[in-house]
Structure 1
Amino acid sequence: MPSMSLLKGLGTALWKARMSIPAKLAILKVAWRARAAKKKAAGKDGAKKDAGKKQKARKDKDNNNNKLAAADKELQKPASRKQQQGNSFDALMAVGDAAAAEEADMGAWVELNLSTRILSAIAKLGFAKPTLIQEKTIPEILAGEDVIGKAQTGSGKTLAFGIPIVEKWLELYEERRNVKREGPTAVVLSPTRELAKQLSDHIKALCDGLPTAPYVCTVTGGLSIHKQQRQLEKADIVIATPGRLWEVLDGDMSLQNSFTKIKFLVVDEADRLFKAGQFKEAEDIIGALDRKDPDAEDDDDDEELPPRQTLVFSATFDKNLQSKLAVRGKAPKAGAGSSDEEKMEYLMKSLKFRSEPKFIDVNPASQMASGLKEGLIECGAMEKDLYLYTVLVLNPNKRTLVFTNSISAVRRLAPLLQNLGLSVLPLHSQMIQKARLRSIERFAASRNSILVATDVAARGLDIKEVDQVLHYHVPRQADTYIHRSGRTARGDRSGVSVILCSPEEVLPTRRLAGKVHAERDGSTSLKREHFIETLLIDRKIAQRLKPRVDLAKRIADAVLAKEKGHSEDQWLRNAAEELGVDYDSEEFDGSAPGNWGGRGGGRKKKEKEARQLSKAEMGALRAQLREELSKRVNLGVSEKYITGGRVDIGALLREKEQGTVGGLFLGGDGLFGMNL
């Protein structure tokens, strides 16, 4: 009969052996069954020979049979089902289920000194080896270090901190079952609801592969606060936006006390917190975790603080941040006039690292993905609608993200493009939570969908196979451009990032791109500046599409004006009723002659004219637009494309004869030659 130590040695050897997973499992299964048969026989013989030891033998037999039954049952389970508590070889069995007769080399993960349960869960996720940020940070976190991690988007930052957190929970509560739970093990702060949900989904996916798993609770706005309060009472890992988490914690001292015992505080996309308007709430939360009033003067640097590890991750950080934190005793208060760098430094100082943090930067020299192709399109400020539509028409059947700098632009562009027959979804921070999640899910599910969004979609969202990012508005900052463009060209895929620029924006945009791509040598001097390419669109093409865009714009503007007018009218009517005065819409909206002067007068006049369109006029506009969209637009082929050999003339003529180009007579090989 093989002993337990012999079985463990066999398991270790098989783990490193170069053979298929089924072969490894077959050997283990035979060994376990041989041990089981011998134990069972020994148990029976002992019971017959020594009646006094009958009870002990029966107990041993039952225990071993239970273990063997669980092990044998695990071998027969489909990959999608969770494991029961089993033996030390459960990880190998899980790999066999998940791989389904395919070889899985987990050697790279084994070197990180992870438990077999975590290795099993990772194997079920299909990750053969850790990413660079995971390889560098996981050992440091497991060793108890505070970490500041910098890695480009799509590099696996979530599991870089998620794996050590779950590993710690298993060590605390799963191995030592008699330990009483004292509150959450970790708190993860996220700047947006969408990123919080994504972080939660990724960590839950890791936990799904475990026999017993921590309870992951997501705390964001737009959901029931009472339900979230109940969930927090039993939560092991809390993933939250700072605003809602502080709303739940504020005033609940019992809950705050349980949070002071956390083992990990994680801040994801830290440089976004203050830009998202959540800086003050994050500061309040950190003060509560440290049992300290955040508004109090911080004169005692030697005060005793609750033990915890602090982990900070983002794609963009100042490389000198670590040295600044080490040199300065404490950072100045970050007021309204502070720069982004000062606010970031202050936030880092507020985190109260228990030791000097390890700064781990795995970004390549260029912060942009290697598979990303960039360009700009020069057009008039009032022509952006037309050129946006032209780009989408010339490059169809691509999953596209359109970024704007304002919510009002999203509200206007989404219906405008929908009127033009495109599959468009909106996303901005003033949408209700269910609508926001629905837009993301539909965008991810449809291959040719278009998501028009504010920068709420620029951070962290991992939507697979986004082919192109179009910047309707020029990004205000370099890091915003990095995060927006990071939604495409993720992993080993390629992608396109195109900025629509008015003539006066071209030079600042080129400077912004140069700043993003700047590489620094040891003397911190800038190397040759990156030059972003100007993409040419034949203006004749845009002009032929202009009539339909103008019609779609008139319809969208009229609908928005009517909705806005109705909302304002209702508000004014209610206010007048409460004040006990007569309501006169003409008087309140200032529509009398001569009242259209001053700033915004022209816009108000256009809105009033749009609101006054009758149903018949709206119907006529829609009929005219349908007729325009049904027409075949012969865009022709520019001579320079033909001479350049970029058009298959024979194929183009065949498509024209067969009418298979969807109403557009087009040629070419992708968006301005930028093949995806």
Structure 2
Amino acid sequence: MKGLDNIQQKLGIKLNGMQEAAMNAILHTNKDILVLSPTGSGKTLAYLLPLTQLLNPDNPQIQAVVIVPGRELALQSSEVLNNMGSGLKAIACYGGRTAMEEHRHTKQVCPHIIFATPGRLNDHLDKNNFNIDNIKFIIIDEFDKCLEMGFQNEMSRIFEKLSHVERHILLSATNAKSIPQFVQMGRTEKVDYLSTEQVPDRVTIYKVKSPVKDKLETLRQLLCDIGNQSSIVFLNYRDSVERTASYLEQNRFTVSAFHGGLEQKQREDALYKFTNKSANILISTDLASRGLDIPDIANIIHYHLPENEDGYIHRVGRTARWDKMGKTFFILGPDEALPDYIDGNMVDYQISEELPEPPKPQMATLYIGKGKKDKLSKGDIVGFLCKKGGLQITEIGRIDVKDRYTYVAVSHPRLQHVLQLVQGEKIKGVRTVIEEVK
């Protein structure tokens, strides 16, 4: 088991006040824990760090279950744990693939922690796919979302099956009105770092007037005006996301579309391109308002108004994370007004009369048809792209080596030149597919 200092040094982080308080409560009491803290304040680390000290890596059994509202948060959280190098293993369980496939994967990995959506966790519990006898902790991340009415039946069934669990840890950026009885919270310690501020004062709030009801042209102008910054455009409906993404692509923007109606691979590709700066604009429903840890998002644009105050808080929580600054823009049609729940000083934003061309992303994503199972490493990729592709190390960004393929971000201006140079070349003595992820 690695010590906390070693893990923090590996991650290159210094704990904030909330993380220190949560860690002390989890490590040094036997109580159930309720953590309330703004989006972007590091709640995932606040519970994972103490778990690395409380769970036994030498026991190859599941010792903690983390329940999350969506697959993206499950994947990101398991990746955070795996990056710690603590000796603990994790898997993510969610819909969109067969439970049998996950069951096989679980038997291979022997995880200590499972990150799961409620429905998929119930599926495994119903089939007795896991040994639950060693589970000591249930963590509910984004508990306000997980305990909404749509999840109530699923969640109550989970707690009925895991009634022997010793401790519960609940975390959220907004406070649920009440915690249902079935959660079985015992003596509870509350770590409350929610501010009375609705959004951080590091966020500047702008109002943008659209002269017509259809706001697409105003959005286009705004995105040209703010330039090559990372932006999320929020809409309330899936078909609106598709329509908006299509319009912007026709106008030579590079965007990623993200909503719950997409296939799992499409969603993962969209997020990956946005995260590694191959697309500087994410067009999304409120699915992207929770559970995504993407650094350096400069702008949050409300094409459609948030449906409620909690939705607004979670949307804006994507920017100004930790100690950074951010901006949020409301595009208002002729008959629209801001909801009463929106606090803070509002600034009228005037779009420039002379606009630049649509901004190009910094990076582009390459697909390489080999991965870990082919003995390919990040070092192999860097060496290949520098030697055969003519790139400098500074022109190579994020690299993700999967089992059977690899994604790598490269400088966008150099993309076509790299593709020409590497066609037909061997990587580790084998020819493979190398192409742009579009």
TM-score range, shorter chain: 0.7 to 0.9
Higher normalized contact order (CA 8 Å, seq sep 6+, divided by chain length) = 2
Q: Which amino acid aligns with 1:244?
A: R
Contact 1:151 1:362 in 2 (8 A): yes
Residue 115 of structure 2, aligned match among 239, 250, 268: 239
Residue 179 of structure 2, aligned match among 345, 353, 359: 345
CA deviation digits over 1:353-389, x for unaligned, max 9? 1x22111111333142232111122325623111111
Q: Is residue 162 of structure 1 aligned with residue 35 of structure 2?
A: no
Looking at structure 2, the residues matched to 277 and 455 of structure 1 have their Cα atoms a distance apart, in angstroms, of 16
Contact 2:213 2:334 in 1 (8 A): no
Looking at structure 2, the residues matched to 382 and 275 of structure 1 have their Cα atoms a distance apart, in angstroms, of 33
Residue in structure 2 matched with residue 271 of structure 1 by the alignment: 144
Q: Which amino acid aligns with 1:140?
A: A
Q: Secondary structure at the match of 1:359?
A: strand
Number of residue-to-residue matches in the alignment? 355
Looking at structure 2, the residues matched to 287 and 503 of structure 1 have their Cα atoms a distance apart, in angstroms, of 51
Q: Is residue 191 of structure 1 aligned with residue 66 of structure 2?
A: no
Residue 220 of structure 2, aligned match among 375, 386, 389: 389
Shift of 1:491: 1.7
Residue in structure 2 matched with residue 226 of structure 1 by the alignment: 100
Residue in structure 2 matched with residue 214 of structure 1 by the alignment: 88
Looking at structure 1, the residues matched to 198 and 299 of structure 2 have their Cα atoms a distance apart, in angstroms, of 18
Q: TM-score, normalised by structure 2?
A: 0.76
Aligned-residue RMSD, C-alpha: 2.4
Equivalent pairs: percent with the same residue? 29
Shift of 1:260: 5.0
Looking at structure 2, the residues matched to 159 and 392 of structure 1 have their Cα atoms a distance apart, in angstroms, of 33
Shift of 1:493: 1.6
Q: Is residue 458 of structure 1 aligned with residue 286 of structure 2?
A: no
Shift of 1:412: 0.9
Q: Which amino acid aligns with 1:345?
A: I
Farther off after superposition, 488-497 or 439-448: 439-448
Residue in structure 1 matched with residue 346 of structure 2 by the alignment: 532
Residue 204 of structure 1, aligned match among 71, 82, 99: 82
Q: Secondary structure at the match of 1:195?
A: helix
CA deviation digits over 1:258-300, x for unaligned, max 9? 325411100001111255943322222112112xxxxxxxxxx
Structure 1 residues 269 and 380: CA distance shift in structure 2, 3 A: farther
CA deviation digits over 1:137-180, x for unaligned, max 9? 1111112221110111111111111012221113xx54xxxxx6
Q: Is residue 410 of structure 1 aligned with residue 283 of structure 2?
A: no
Structure 1 residues 254 and 383: CA distance shift in structure 2, 3 A: closer
User: For 1:185-584, what aligned pairs fall within 5 Å after superposition?
Assistant: 185-206=63-84, 208=85, 210=86, 213-233=87-107, 234-250=110-126, 252-253=127-128, 255=130, 258-274=131-147, 277-290=150-163, 306-317=164-175, 341=177, 344-346=178-180, 349-353=181-185, 355-380=186-211, 382-446=213-277, 449-508=280-339, 511-514=340-343, 530-537=344-351
Structure 1 residues 242 and 254: CA distance shift in structure 2, 3 A: closer
Structure 1 residues 423 and 487: CA distance shift in structure 2, 3 A: same
Q: Secondary structure at the match of 1:439?
A: helix
CA deviation digits over 1:453-511, x for unaligned, max 9? 11111002111111111111000111111111111111222111101123443142xx1
Looking at structure 2, the residues matched to 315 and 387 of structure 1 have their Cα atoms a distance apart, in angstroms, of 31
CA deviation digits over 1:172-202, x for unaligned, max 9? x54xxxxx65x41100011111111111111
Larger Rg: 1 or 2?
1
Point out where structure 2 has 5 or more consecutive residues left out of the alignment: 359-438
Q: Which amino acid aligns with 1:259?
A: I
Contact 1:190 1:240 in 2 (8 A): yes
Contact 1:191 1:276 in 2 (8 A): no
Q: Secondary structure at the match of 2:346?
A: coil
Residue in structure 1 matched with residue 407 of structure 2 by the alignment: none
Q: Which amino acid aligns with 2:254?
A: S
Shift of 1:235: 2.3
Residue in structure 2 matched with residue 646 of structure 1 by the alignment: none
Structure 1 residues 276 and 411: CA distance shift in structure 2, 3 A: farther
Looking at structure 2, the residues matched to 228 and 448 of structure 1 have their Cα atoms a distance apart, in angstroms, of 31
Q: Which amino acid aligns with 1:513?
A: I
Bigger share in helix:
1
